[in-house]
């Protein structure tokens, strides 16, 4: 009986660790987490709205975000002004499913219902990061907004190089490799909050969030499984 009890105990411990590893290594499914993944494969329901949203104390419009993202945005805007004298402005933060549906419908009409063309820049309802409250479209005061030319502005250059310091990443990078993975054309204005620790790692990796999450999950699983007792030793069974 002691041997059987010991084996059952080891099996239970291993199962619990593996279950914990699966949860920890799949942060893309955690709606309350900073690595919650939303794209055309991972979509949100029409009823989804973050529990807490607040107005970020920055110039611009549509300034609502999750509280930690709103605070970080304010910090980033202030730093940009201090370091470059440029005034960044918010253009679009949180958007509901219904709001996104309206934007998408208008885009479809403007491209004569060419879905592929519409989705180069506009996400279908449920597939937009803006619905998470963790994304913000950013512009520079008195400059063109939501255009690739934002990349060439002083504010745009500063954001691309420094956003990670405040917990943000440039979500939709430039080039075919990025576009084939994210599904969107280059958007130098769209920034996603993931927290300072993750933002630094993703910025240094210089890969889309989807790619980084795969590597992160593999490493986390390997680390966690390495702590699972695989087999009992003769001493354990005495």
CA 150 to CA 172: how far, in whole Å? 14
Out of 54, 154, 176, 187, the active site residue is: 187
Nearest to 184 by CA among 94, 116, 96, 112: 116
CA 80 to CA 141: how far, in whole Å? 12
129 an active-site residue?
A: no
Q: What DSSP state is assigned to residue 123? A: P
Cα→Cα distances 211→8, 143, 148, 206, Å: 38, 32, 23, 10
CA 138 to CA 214: how far, in whole Å? 28
Query: How many residues can be counted in the chain?
Result: 238
CA 95 to CA 97: how far, in whole Å? 7
List residues with catalytic annotation: 187
């Amino acid at each position: 009986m002691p041997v059987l009890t010991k084996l059952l105990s080891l099996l239970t411990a291993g199962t619990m660790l593996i279950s914990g590893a699966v949860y920890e290594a799949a942060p893309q499914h955690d709606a309350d987490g900073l690595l919650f993944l939303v794209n055309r494969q991972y979509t949100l329901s029409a009823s989804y709205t973050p529990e807490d949203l607040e107005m970020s104390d920055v110039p611009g419009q549509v300034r609502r975000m999750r509280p930690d993202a709103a605070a970080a945005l304010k910090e980033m805007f202030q730093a940009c002004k201090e370091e470059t004298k440029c005034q960044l402005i918010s253009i679009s933060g949180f958007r509901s499913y219904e709001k996104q549906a309206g934007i998408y419908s208008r885009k479809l009409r403007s491209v004569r219902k060419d879905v592929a063309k519409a989705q180069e820049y506009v996400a279908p309802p449920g597939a937009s990061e803006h619905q998470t409250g963790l994304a913000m479209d950013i512009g520079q005061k008195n400059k063109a907004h939501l255009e690739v030319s934002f990349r060439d502005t002083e504010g745009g250059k500063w954001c691309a190089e420094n956003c990670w310091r405040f917990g943000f990443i440039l979500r939709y990078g430039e080039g075919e490799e990025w576009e084939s993975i994210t599904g969107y054309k280059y958007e130098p204005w769209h920034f996603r909050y993931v927290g300072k620790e993750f933002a630094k790692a993703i910025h240094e990796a210089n890969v889309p969030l989807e790619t980084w999450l795969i590597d992160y999950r593999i490493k986390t699983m390997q680390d966690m499984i390495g702590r699972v007792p695989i087999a009992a030793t003769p001493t354990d069974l005495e």
